[in-house]
Amino acid sequence: MNFNYTEQQDMLRTMAREFLAVECPKSRTRELEKDGRGYDPATWKRMAELGWMGLLLPEEYEGSGAGFMDLVILMEEMGRNILPGPFFSTVALAALPIMDFGSKEQQADHLPRIARGETVWTLAISEDPADCEFSKIRTSARPAGGGYALNGGKTLVPCANVADYMLVSARIRNGKALEKGLTLFIVDMKKAGIKVEIIPTITGETLCHVGFDNVALGAGDVLGTAGAAENMLGRVLDKAALLKCAEVSGACRAVLEMTVTYAGARQQFGKPIGTFQVIQHRLVDMLMMVDGLQYLVYQAAWMMSAGSDCAVQIAMAKIKANEVYQHTALDGIRIHGAIGFSMDHDVGLYYRRVLASRFFPCDTAYYQEKVAAGMGL
């Protein structure tokens, strides 16, 4: 395994860091937390012009044809800078599934528009915010008029308030019974019968409840094979979890760096607090945790790029990300002191996002069970 950046990856990382520092400083992040859209369309357009939305998409669909590791690096920089908006939901939760499982017609219709930044997407799976088991999904698609009528509701759907399209998991209704297999549908959000309600969050992220009342779908709106979406969703969420880990890794690195800077500048008893052993040891512990998380993320990304089975490695990275983000943000706040708890300090922006990242797409216990299964337990 070689985790050194290529020249192109170095350029991507530097360009992304410089772009985000200008386009989305922390003051802008705070403004967007209060904006009903949750993102800046002008910044979104410039991101598309840089080729970010189409980074992994094939060139035939106006993408760059880059590797998965390139997207990991980009997600790290977005996490480092706290970029609000629908990039993750559009690219990780929708574009990649369409690229992997969509028909040629679906790919040709949707992927170029995603690459150009013309459409915003999201994925709706959860119905119970405390449970991510696919077996609990009860949203139904009743055969009707050569297509389907979609009924039910989804919760904690990211960016649904600004989405043009949504991938929705549902069970096809056969009479009064729901079929066991899940189906993934492409839903145009302009269709009648869709209701979106924004859920208030302390993190500033935009999450929504979405209701479906006899939403008319065509046979061509099925992504992949009807009734076979459970395995597809497993692969979709594995990639999404790894990209979320990359985002968390970047955020942890930013917290560490700003805390080291603060410890070197904050004077106490006539010298910087970074000269005190207790502060030094805490910062060393933070560094080891952050580097350990980045290694697990890169290992899983390398295995995925090589086509290897990396489900256990992704689960390990997600467990580690949940642990490291919480510890790093809390230790950062402790070293900053009382100011770290204020809404106006940057370290607090990261801490408020800890819990949200811990439960997406599933909680720590879910991934611990996956690792245990991989150990043969």
**Tens digits of residue pLDDT in 194-253:** 999 999 887 778 999 999 999 999 999 999 999 999 999 999 999 999 999 999 999 999
Integer Cα distance of 233 and 290 in angstroms: 29
91: Cβ–Cβ under 8 A, 6 or more apart, which residues? 52, 53, 55, 56, 71, 114
Q: Which of 12-16, 81-85, 305-309 has the highest mean pLDDT?
A: 12-16
Q: Which of 128-137, 241-250, 348-357 has the highest mean pLDDT?
A: 241-250
Integer Cα distance of 298 and 241 in angstroms: 13
pLDDT at 259 exceeding the cut of 70: yes
Q: Which domains does the chain have, with CATH numbers?
A: 7-119 (1.10.540.10), 123-227 (2.40.110.10), 230-374 (1.20.140.10)
Looking at residue 89, its pLDDT comes to 97
Mean per-residue pLDDT, 83-109 = 97
Among residues 98, 12, 76, the alpha carbon closest in space to that of 47 is found at 12
71: Cβ–Cβ under 8 A, 6 or more apart, which residues? 55, 56, 91, 243
Looking at residue 352, its pLDDT comes to 85
The percent of residues in the chain predicted with pLDDT above 70, rounded, is 99
Which tokens sit at 312?
């256990």
35: Cβ–Cβ under 8 A, 6 or more apart, which residues? none
User: What pTM was computed for the model?
Assistant: 0.95
Which tokens sit at 47?
């991101």
Looking at residue 315, its pLDDT comes to 97
Looking at residue 361, its pLDDT comes to 83
DSSP letter at 56 equals: S
Looking at residue 174, its pLDDT comes to 85
Question: H-type helices in 174-228, by residue range?
Answer: none
Each as own residue / partner, the long-range contacts of residues 301-308 (CB below 8 Å, 24 or more positions apart, any chain) are: 301/68, 301/69, 301/72, 301/242, 301/246, 302/1, 302/2, 302/3, 302/69, 304/68, 304/239, 304/242, 305/67, 305/68, 305/69
Q: What's the length of the chain?
A: 377
Confidence of residue 130 (pLDDT cuts 50, 70, 90): low
